[in-house]
């Protein structure tokens, strides 16, 4: 059975980003209920050398929109990375979900062997489409969504595995 690049990208990213938006809504309510300044959560990090919550969300969306854009051969939309509230982060997630879901299967399927070149200061990194998606982007999206979840869970937001996995 051949993998659907569309199913493994658009649908996976949309689900994870929607789940992350729901988690952020819970965190926002938790902060309001306990009279905690939201910036405490938004700037929290698990270790001194890790990015804070805000950046985790930004990277998750950047990875998702970058992936589908590169696979489809379209320009990647730029987001300003200026979010400073839960509402702004949720809006960013919703914007990214709408963007990735705007692609049709025909734009993404069949890109398993497409050459994807990532420009890095240390030099270009080249992938084929399928390894780019499965070995680079998916793990990054999961990592940054999970790290955001872990930050909020560590801060006392009542979250469980079902929040991360989402509804069936």
144-168, pLDDT tens digit by residue? Answer: 999 999 999 999 999 999 999 998 8
Tell me the torsion sign for CA atoms 126, 20, 150, 24.
Answer: positive
Helix or strand (DSSP H, E) at 78: none
Look at residue 39 in the predicted model and tell me its pLDDT: 96
Q: How many whole angstroms separate alpha carbon 36 and alpha carbon 39?
A: 8
Q: Exposed (0-12), middle (13-18) or buried (19+): which is 140, by Cβ within 10 Å?
A: middle
pLDDT digits (tens, 9 = 90+) for 116-131: 999 999 999 999 999 9
Q: If we measure between CA atoms, which residue out of 138, 112, 141 comes closest to residue 127? A: 112
Reported as a pLDDT band with limits 50, 70 and 90, residue 1 is: low
Q: Above pLDDT 90, what percent of the chain? A: 97
CATH superfamily of 5-165: dinb family like domain (1.20.120.450)
Listed by start position, the domains of the chain span 5-165
Tell me the torsion sign for CA atoms 160, 18, 126, 114.
Answer: positive
pTM across the whole model: 0.96
Q: How many whole angstroms separate alpha carbon 12 and alpha carbon 5?
A: 10
């Amino acid at each position: 059975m051949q993998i659907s690049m569309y199913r493994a990208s658009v649908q996976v990213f949309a689900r994870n980003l929607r789940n992350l938006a729901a988690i952020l809504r819970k965190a926002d309510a938790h902060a309001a209920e306990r009279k905690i300044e939201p910036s405490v959560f938004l700037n929290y990090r698990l270790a001194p050398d890790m990015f804070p919550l805000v950046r985790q969300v930004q990277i998750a969306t950047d990875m998702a929109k970058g992936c589908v854009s590169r696979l489809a051969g379209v320009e990647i939309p730029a987001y300003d990375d200026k979010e400073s509230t839960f509402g702004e982060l949720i809006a960013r997630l919703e914007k990214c979900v709408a963007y990735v879901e705007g692609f049709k299967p025909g734009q993404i399927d069949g890109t398993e062997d497409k050459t994807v070149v990532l420009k890095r200061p240390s030099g270009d990194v080249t992938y084929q489409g399928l390894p780019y998606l499965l070995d680079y982007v998916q793990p990054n999206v999961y990592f940054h969504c999970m790290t955001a979840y872990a930050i909020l869970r560590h801060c006392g937001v009542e979250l469980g595995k079902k929040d991360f996995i989402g509804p069936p």
